[in-house]
Amino acid sequence: MPDLLPGAEGFPRTAVLSPSVHRVLGLNPSAFTGPGTNTYLVGMHGPGPLLIDTGSGLDAYTALLRGYLRETQAPPLTRILLTHVHPDHIGGAGDVRGIFPNLPVHKFPWPGKDERYNVPLQAVRDGERFQGPGYTLRAVHTPGHARDHICYYYEEERALFTGDVILGVGTTVIPRDGGDLGDYLATLERLLALDLKRIYPGHGPVIEDGPAKVREYLAHRLERERQILHELRHGPRTIMEMVAEIYREYPKHLHNAAGESVLSHLDKLVKEGRVLNQGGAPARYTLAA
Ligand SMILES: [Zn+2]
C-alpha cells in the first residue's frame, strides 16, 4: 500500500524515484506549498546518503524521516544541503540534526536571514561539488525567487534539484523581499545551458522533461511582459487595472496574487528604464518615452 497524505491529493509521503533518489514529504500541505515541501535523500544506493531540504520543522516530518531511514536500513546521513532560506525548506534542519548530531548543513549565505534558524551553516559557493559514494552534486547559484537560492545538479543522473525555481505544481513567486524577476529570467537561461534530463522540484511531482519545463516557464514570463507592455501602450495604468485586463479569465480571488506578479514585472521594467512609475496611490505606470 502506498503511504498517502490525506489532503494532498494522494501524493505519497515517501517515494523511490531512482535507485539513488528517494523523496520524503515535509507533511506541510497548503495553498503555497502544494502537497508540501519535497525533501530528497540522495545516494541511497550507497553507504553515504545526504538530504536536500528539510521541510518546515514539523515533528511529524522528523518522525517520518526517522522511520523511513530505519525501514530502508539506510546508512547515517552525511550532510544536509539547503536550496534557500524560506521556512518550508530550512525549517526542519535543526530537528534533523536532533537525529544526527553535528550533521553539517550547507547553504548559500544570506546574512540577516540565516541567523534566525539557529543552525550552524557552512557557506556553499557557486560551482562547489558535493561528492559521496556514487554521486556528485554541483551547486548552481540561481537567484530570482530568493537571492540565496541554490539548485543542485546531479551529474550522474543529469538531473537537477530545483527547490522553488521550477515547481512540479503551482507557479514560482517572485517576492519583493529578496526576489528579482530579471535575476529569475537569467537563472532560467542558465538552467537551459545545463545538460539536463529530470527535474526534482521542491514541490510537486518529478518533471521528466526538464528543459521543456524551463522553456515553458521562460515563455510564460515573456508572454506576461508582452501583455503588460501592451496594456501600457494604451496609456498610464495602475496594477489592478492591468490585472483586470490580463487576468480577465481568472477568478477574482486570484487577482491579488496576480497583482504581485505584475508588480515583479514592473519592478524589472522600471529598473531597465522601459517603464516609469508616476507615483500616486495606487501608483500609475507608463511607458518610458
Ligand atoms: Zn521559497
Question: Ligand 1 mean position to 96 CA, how many Å?
Answer: 20
The reply to whether 83 and 109 lie within a common domain is yes
- The answer on 204 and 165 residing in a single domain is yes
Q: Which amino acid, residue 23?
A: R
Same domain, 194 and 235: no
| Distance in angstroms (rounded) separating the CA atoms of residues 213 and 225 | 19
Q: How far is residue 65's CA from residue 281's CA, in Å, rounded to a whole number?
A: 49
* Per-residue model confidence as pLDDT tens digits over 141-150: 999 999 999 9
Continuous segment of H or E residues that includes residue 127? none
Q: Identify whether 7 is part of a domain.
A: no
In a domain, 40, yes or no: yes
Contacts of 128 (CB under 8 A, 6+ apart): 138, 139
Q: How far is the CA of 121 from the centre of ligand 1 (A)?
A: 18
CATH number at residue 153: 3.60.15.10
Phi, psi of 77, rounded to the nearest 5 degrees: -65, 150
- The confidence score (pLDDT) of residue 2 equals 43
Tell me, yes or no, whether 204 and 228 share the same domain. Answer: no
Q: Are 194 and 153 in contact (CB under 8 A)?
A: yes
Is residue 4 one of the residues assigned to a domain? no
Q: Which residues, 6+ apart, have CB-to-CB distance to 232 below 8 Å?
A: 242, 275, 285, 286, 287
Is 216 within the bounds of a domain? no
73 Cα: distance to centroid of ligand 1 (angstroms): 31
How many structural domains compose the chain? 2
Asked whether residue 175 falls in the same domain as residue 265, the answer is no
Residue after which a domain boundary falls, among 153, 179, 208: 208
Judge if 186 and 262 occupy the same domain: no
Task: Mark whether 98 and 54 lie in a shared domain.
Answer: yes
Q: Is residue 93 a part of any domain in this protein? A: yes
Residue 189: per-residue pLDDT: 98
Query: Cα–Cα distance between 268 and 41 in angstroms, integer?
Result: 36
Ligand 1 centre distance from Cα of residue 233 (Å) = 33
Cell of 218: 521562460
What pLDDT does residue 55 have? 97
Say if residue 201 is in the same domain as residue 246.
Answer: no
pTM value is 0.94
Q: 88 CA distance to ligand 1 centroid (A)?
A: 7
Q: Which positions of the chain have pLDDT values less than 50?
A: 1-2, 6-7
Q: What is the pLDDT of residue 8?
A: 59
What's the 145 CA to ligand 1 centre distance in angstroms?
A: 7
Quick one: 163 and 265 in the same domain?
Answer: no
Residues 118 and 194 in one domain: yes
The residues, any chain, with a CB within 8 Å of residue 203's CB and separated by 6 or more, are 33, 34, 35, 36, 37, 38, 164, 167, 168, 169, 170
Locate 260 and state its grid cell.
504581485
CA of 172 to the centre of ligand 1 (A): 8
Ligand 1 centre to CA of 60 (Å) is 21
Domain end residue (candidates: 181, 208, 235): 208
Determine, yes or no, domain membership for 266.
yes
Same domain membership, residue 163 and residue 31? yes
**What is the residue range of 140's domain?**
14-208
Residue 93 sits in the same domain as residue 129: yes
Q: Which of 270, 246, 268, 272 is CA-nearest to residue 259?
A: 246
In a domain, 261, yes or no: yes
Q: Residue 10: its pLDDT value, please?
A: 77
> From CA 80, how far away is CA 83, in angstroms rounded?
10
Buried b (16+ CB within 10 A) or exposed e, 273-284: eebbeeeeeeeb
> Residue holding cell 525548506?
89
CA dihedral 195, 201, 221, 247 (to 10 degrees): 160
Q: Does residue 8 lie in a domain region?
A: no
Residue 66 CA, chain-centre distance (Å), reads: 24
Contact call for residues 14 and 68 (beta carbons, < 8 A): yes
Q: How far apart are CA 13 and CA 131, in angstroms?
A: 27
CATH number for 234: 1.10.10.10
Q: Of 208, 239, 259, which residue is a domain's last?
A: 208
**How much distance in Å is there from the Cα of 86 to the middle of ligand 1?**
5
Give the alpha-carbon dihedral of 261, 267, 270, 276, to 10 degrees. 70
Q: How far apart are CA 205 and CA 168, in angstroms?
A: 5
